[in-house]
Every structure is written in structure tokens, then in C-alpha cells.
């Protein structure tokens, strides 16, 4: 079986003259070659953006020339900065988050643990996320992504009818429970080496979003639900919604729809939260992992 016809990944057919793409799995993800992010041209940017919507997640190796300012500039080419729901950003760079786990840290949860899209409990969740690796463990600390567009397309027509108009309740209740580990609900929390500044009440109240989302640029539909933040379905009891969400959450991250990245230092990864889910791994105790993250403000999902 092929999820996409081979020509879907053909650079010539896709008009990619200023970049080269190397697919990571047969369903999603691609390495982009021939781009120096610090000096990216307008032509390259347009092709990179098209490749992002095609592959859902793209990555660039050997970006040692890229500064935090360069990451900010690239982020702003996609749209204005999103407000991160978890951290206040770095000193001098309020829109840049440091994702850090020290070698000495032993934690039950790392930032980004569990399949999710970024902050879907917000009214306008971030559309695109950019993650630059400064220091990575020699092994472990991979990130996984899963293609939510193919997941939607491979549902039966009957299931597509059933879920067509449903709204999913996205809330951080479950995630905060794990971060809190039973502690009282404070607005200042730590997650390993990261200081979190969160409005827990608002994050738990969350938002109701269409479970079938339409991408504003491609018009393609994808399945918008996960196993971290999808807490219920508008108008349904928990007994009704749970089995449906259990199925959809599993289906949305089936192994066949995944790609997995083994990080190197000085990589930049960009993913579109409207087209894929992702999860971080907590499997590198004894090694330091430091990333720099920016997000683009998204639309109200429709
Ligand atoms: C995230 O979920 O944004 C972080 C992913 C990672 O650190 O691998």
C-alpha cells in the first residue's frame, strides 16, 4: 500500500527548484536540503512553506549559523508570534521558549510528553511550531509526529458522517494533573528544569473545536483530537464520548501514520499543528537536551 502516490513527493512536479526534499517516512516528514535558514531567500521560503503543508513536518540539518534572531525572523514569515500557554519566554526574547532537561534531572514527565498538538485548549491554538536543537543526547530524546490528514482520509465514509459536525472539548485538565502530580493548583509550576507560568483555570476550561478541521491554506481536512487534551464531545455524555475519543485518539496516531526524528545538534524542525500531532520522549536521563521553540499564532479552528 502507498498512502500517497510517488509523484506526491516529486520535487520537479511540485515546482521545488530552490530546495530539495528527502521524505522521512512514506506518509509524512521530510528533510529539506540546500537551505541556510540564516540566509533563506524569498523563493526558498515559498517552497519551504509549500513543503511544510505537503509533508506536515520538515527539518533542516547543520543550521549552526542560525541565531535566535534568525529563528524569530523565520517564524514571523509564517505569521505573528503565538502566545505560549506554558512559559513566559526567554529573557530578551519573550516569544522564544527554552525547552530544557538537564542531565541531572529525573522526571515523570517531560515537556511535550504524550501525543498532542500544541495548546489546543486555546481559542486560537498555535498553527505552526519551530524547534531548534542546541544540545541533544547521544541517543534517546527523539520526537514523533503523526499525520492527522491521512488519518482523517482513511476513516470510513460512515465515521466521517458521524463526526462531521462534532466539537471536541480541548482542556489541559489531564496534562496539568500529571504536571501537578497531586500538588495544589498553583499558577507557577516547574516541569523538570522548566519554570511554567500557566493560567490553570483557563487551560482547564479550555475550548470547543471542530473535531474535523479544515486547513486554511490547502482546504484539506484533518482529524483534530488527541489522547492528551481531548476530554469530551459537546452534547455527549462521558460514557458516549469516551469510546469514540479513545478510538479516534488511537487512530490519529497509528504507527503507519508516524515519522520519528533522531535529533542532531543544530537542526531546525517545523511542523503544522493543523496537520499533525507530535510527542516527546522521556528516555534520556543522564544527558542534557536543550531546544529553542517558537510558535505562530493560529486561526480559530474551523
Ligand atoms: C513540544 O511538544 O513542543 C516539544 C517536543 C520535543 O521536545 O521533542
Least confident piece of the model among 128-137, 193-202, 205-214: 193-202
Q: Which of 87, 99, 119 to mutate to test the pocket of ligand 1 (most atoms within 8 A of CB)?
A: 99
- Please indicate whether residue 66, judged by its CB atom, sits closer than 6 Å to ligand 1: no
Q: Whose CA is nearest to atom 1 of ligand 1?
A: 112
| Residue 8 pLDDT | 95
| Residue 178 pLDDT | 74
- Please indicate whether residue 271, judged by its CB atom, sits closer than 6 Å to ligand 1: no
How close is the Cα of 116 to the center of ligand 1, in Å?
Answer: 10
- Please indicate whether residue 280, judged by its CB atom, sits closer than 6 Å to ligand 1: yes
| Residue 180 pLDDT | 63
| Residue 186 pLDDT | 47
Question: What is the arithmetic mean of pLDDT over 58-64?
Answer: 98
First to last CA, the chain: 31
Q: Write down the CATH number for the domain with range 82-296.
A: 3.60.130.10
pTM given for the model: 0.94
Name the more confident of 4 and 21. Answer: 21
Least confident piece of the model among 108-117, 186-195, 212-221: 186-195
Give every strand in the sheet of 230-233, ordered side by side: 207-210, 167-170, 230-233
| Residue 187 pLDDT | 54
- Please indicate whether residue 112, judged by its CB atom, sits closer than 6 Å to ligand 1: yes
Q: Whose CA is nearest to atom 6 of ligand 1?
A: 280
Tell me the per-residue pLDDT of 66-119, one tens digit each, with 9 for 90 and over.
Answer: 999 999 999 999 999 998 888 889 999 999 999 999 999 988 888 898 999 999
- Asked if residue 185 has pLDDT above 60, the reply is no
Domain boundaries, the chain: 82-296
Tell me the per-residue pLDDT of 242-281, one tens digit each, with 9 for 90 and over.
Answer: 999 999 999 999 999 999 999 999 999 999 999 999 999 9
**275 burial type by CB count under 10 A (0-12 exposed, 13-18 middle, 19+ buried):** buried
Amino acid at each position: 500500500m502507498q498512502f500517497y502516490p510517488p509523484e506526491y513527493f516529486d520535487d520537479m512536479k511540485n515546482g521545488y527548484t530552490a530546495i530539495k526534499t528527502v521524505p522521512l517516512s512514506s506518509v509524512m516528514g521530510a528533510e529539506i536540503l540546500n537551505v541556510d535558514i540564516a540566509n533563506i531567500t524569498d523563493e526558498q521560503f515559498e517552497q519551504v512553506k509549500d513543503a511544510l503543508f505537503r509533508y506536515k513536518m520538515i527539518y533542516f540539518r547543520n543550521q549552526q549559523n542560525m541565531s535566535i534572531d534568525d529563528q524569530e525572523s523565520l517564524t514571523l514569515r509564517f505569521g505573528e508570534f503565538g502566545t505560549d500557554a506554558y512559559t513566559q519566554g526567554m529573557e530578551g526574547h519573550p516569544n522564544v521558549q527554552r525547552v530544557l532537561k538537564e542531565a541531572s534531572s529525573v522526571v515523570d514527565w517531560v515537556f511535550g510528553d504524550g501525543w498532542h498538538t500544541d495548546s489546543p485548549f486555546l481559542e486560537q491554538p498555535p498553527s505552526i511550531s519551530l524547534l531548534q536543537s542546541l544540545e541533544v543526547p547521544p541517543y534517546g530524546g527523539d520526537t514523533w509526529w503523526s499525520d492527522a490528514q491521512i488519518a482523517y482520509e482513511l476513516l470510513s465514509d460512515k465515521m466521517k458522517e458521524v463526526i462531521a459536525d462534532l466539537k471536541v472539548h480541548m482542556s489541559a485538565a489531564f496534562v496539568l494533573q500529571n504536571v501537578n502530580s497531586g500538588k495544589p493548583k498553583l499558577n507557577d509550576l516547574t516541569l523538570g528544569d522548566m519554570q511554567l507560568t500557566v493560567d490553570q483555570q483557563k487551560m482547564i476550561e479550555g475550548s470547543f473545536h471542530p473535531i474535523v478541521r479544515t486547513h486554511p491554506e490547502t482546504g484539506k481536512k484533518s482529524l483534530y483530537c488527541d489522547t492528551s487534551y481531548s476530554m469530551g464531545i459537546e452534547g455527549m455524555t462521558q460514557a458516549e464520548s469516551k469510546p469514540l475519543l479513545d478510538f479516534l485518539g488511537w487512530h490519529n496516531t497509528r504507527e503507519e501514520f508516524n515519522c520519528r526524528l533522531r535529533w542532531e545538534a543544530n537542526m531546525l524542525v517545523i511542523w503544522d499543528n493543523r496537520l499533525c500531532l507530535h510527542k516527546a520522549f522521556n528516555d534520556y536521563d543522564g544527558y542534557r537536551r536543550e531546544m529553542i521553540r517558537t510558535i505562530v499564532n493560529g486561526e480559530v479552528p474551523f
